[in-house]
Structure 1
Amino acid sequence: MTSTVPALSTRTAEDSALQAVFLDMDGTLVDTEGFWWDAEKEVFAGLGHRLDEAWRDVVVGGPMTRSAGFLIESTGADITLPELTVLLNNRFEARIGNGVPLMPGAARLLAELRAYDIPMALVSASHRRIIDRILQSFGPDTFALTVAGDEIARTKPHPDPYLHAAARLGAEPARCAVVEDTATGVASAEAAGCRVVAVPSVAPIAPADGRVVVGSLEEVDLAFLRTLITGMN
């Protein structure tokens, strides 16, 4: 089989323009947004409440505190935020016990970035316990850094997770490409000054300056990510 990765000697000085790639997890690399919604519906059914399907777009992609808080307020469920957070994480973790499906194109993209030694960070609003479980679906050395929503004082849509990732990897945010699937994640990355590829998973995302919207990760490769950075100069 012929490799699609050119030899090291053919790479140009322009390659260094892209300093790092940051990727969201749920709905971007792994097909788990439906798992989360199902977990939420099951937990609230146990509490005697039925979730409105229209709420799915509200809770997708957000930090656990925001999503859980919204659902408590909307349903009037008699449960505290910390209690609900534990129930949701437990139910979701049970659902992914047999592994999680990767999004189309995810394995290929990660392999290409590894082949070129492009630093990668997984930046998620999910809690550390969930990230560590899902990381088993990837190679142990895939990411140089992982950022969990419960390890940052302000998670998405604030810029802090992506600013933290850039600082830890010694990269300029403007030289980092971010792949996200929700408006919440896109807002976080753009507020940090990163260039964004949006791959909508549940709700549509409109194109904008510094942002490209694609249909799936099958449309994203290293050359494509580099154009996000070189195109801004």
Structure 2
Amino acid sequence: MTSTVPARGTLSQALGPARAGKAPAADGSALQAVLLDMDGTLVDTEGFWWDVEVEVFASLGHTLDETWRHVVVGGPMSRSAGFLIEATGADITLPELTVLLNEGFEERIEQDLPLMPGAARLLAELYEHEIPTALVSASHRRIIDRVLKTLGPHHFALSVAGDEVPRTKPHPDPYLTAAAGFGADPVRCVVVEDTATGVAAAEAAGCQVVAVPSVAPLAPAPRRTVVTSLEEVDLAFLRSLMTKTR
């Protein structure tokens, strides 16, 4: 399949020399694409976001309640930041807070950006077998582009950022956009996610889901398989999920 490269700033963006993969199977029974979340799924950064939020609000004279961590994890920045402003009564606008959080997060990942166990192996295997692979995140494009330097942009034929779609997770738009970018049927795509927000987006899009919980537990459900680590996930495993949809 030949992929087109949309202009920067559109809903999705093709990256580097990544291979878009082969055309969907004619019988509709094969795995057509793998769509991967970023924070907490491929890179161990969910804790980074919370640490930055705590530091920023401390500088504003507010202490965050640890119980709020589960409220803000995995969601779009507009929702998380908006919740924290309302909960604390901090005197800051949403755009101002968004800038501070993005800047603080970038400083963190410049110092250290650990991959989740099994992430590098999985990406290498998908690339080797020319499986259409997309990075789909609620993080903004500026953050995704920085993380891609570590993950290797060649591993992804397509990426979708939270600030490039009208509605980000938990809405299905990001995953529908990624599937459409490959000309794939969402039902024949496997999404790998770590939070309830991301899982909700993937399931609303009609995708098969592999949940790898990072902060809060997730339960198995129809079209949702829960694993403890990406070390349990390989191409054979992902392909086997398609047989469950037949």
The interval holding the TM-score normalised by the smaller chain is over 0.9
Task: Compute the displacement of 1:14 (Å).
Answer: 8.8
- Kindly provide the CA deviation profile for residues 61-82 of structure 1, in whole angstroms up to 9, marking residues without a partner as x: 0000000000001101011111
Q: Does 1:65 align with 2:78?
A: yes
- Out of 114, 120, 124, the position equivalent to 1:107 is 120
Residue ranges of structure 2 left out of the alignment (5+ in a row): 1-24
- For 1:172 and 1:86, the matched residues in 2 are separated by 36
Change (3 A) 1:112 1:15: farther
- For 1:138 and 1:82, the matched residues in 2 are separated by 28
- For 1:140 and 1:69, the matched residues in 2 are separated by 31
- For 2:187 and 2:231, the matched residues in 1 are separated by 24
Instruction: Give identity over the alignment, percent.
Output: 77
Q: Which amino acid aligns with 2:160?
A: V
Task: Compute the displacement of 1:154 (Å).
Answer: 0.2
- Out of 13, 30, 48, the position equivalent to 1:17 is 30
Change (3 A) 1:34 1:157: same
Query: Cα RMSD between the aligned structures?
Result: 1.5
- For 1:78 and 1:163, the matched residues in 2 are separated by 37
- For 1:146 and 1:24, the matched residues in 2 are separated by 10
1:51 — aligned with what?
Answer: 64
Q: Which amino acid aligns with 1:49?
A: H
1:99–1:137 Cα contact (<8 Å) kept: no
Report the secondary structure of 1:118's partner residue: coil
2:138–2:168 Cα contact (<8 Å) kept: yes
- Out of 207, 210, 228, the position equivalent to 1:194 is 207
Alignment of 1:170-189 (within 5 A): 170-189=183-202
Report the secondary structure of 1:17's partner residue: coil
2:167 — aligned with what?
Answer: 154
2:35–2:136 Cα contact (<8 Å) kept: yes
Task: Compute the displacement of 1:88 (Å).
Answer: 0.4
Report the secondary structure of 1:50's partner residue: coil
Report the secondary structure of 1:154's partner residue: coil
Q: TM-score, normalised by structure 2?
A: 0.88
Report the secondary structure of 1:97's partner residue: helix
Task: Compute the displacement of 1:138 (Å).
Answer: 1.8
Q: Which amino acid aligns with 1:187?
A: A
- Kindly provide the CA deviation profile for residues 12-57 of structure 1, in whole angstroms up to 9, marking residues without a partner as x: 9999700000000000000001110000000000000000111111
2:228 — aligned with what?
Answer: 215
Change (3 A) 1:137 1:16: farther
- For 1:181 and 1:66, the matched residues in 2 are separated by 18
2:10 — aligned with what?
Answer: none
- For 2:104 and 2:151, the matched residues in 1 are separated by 22
1:165 — aligned with what?
Answer: 178
- Kindly provide the CA deviation profile for residues 75-126 of structure 1, in whole angstroms up to 9, marking residues without a partner as x: 0101111110001001111111134100000000111111110010000000
Task: Compute the displacement of 1:140 (Å).
Answer: 2.7
- For 2:221 and 2:29, the matched residues in 1 are separated by 25
Q: TM-score, normalised by structure 1?
A: 0.93
Aligned length: 222
Once superposed, which parts of structure 1, at least 4 consecutive aligned residues long, lie more than 2 Å away? 12-16
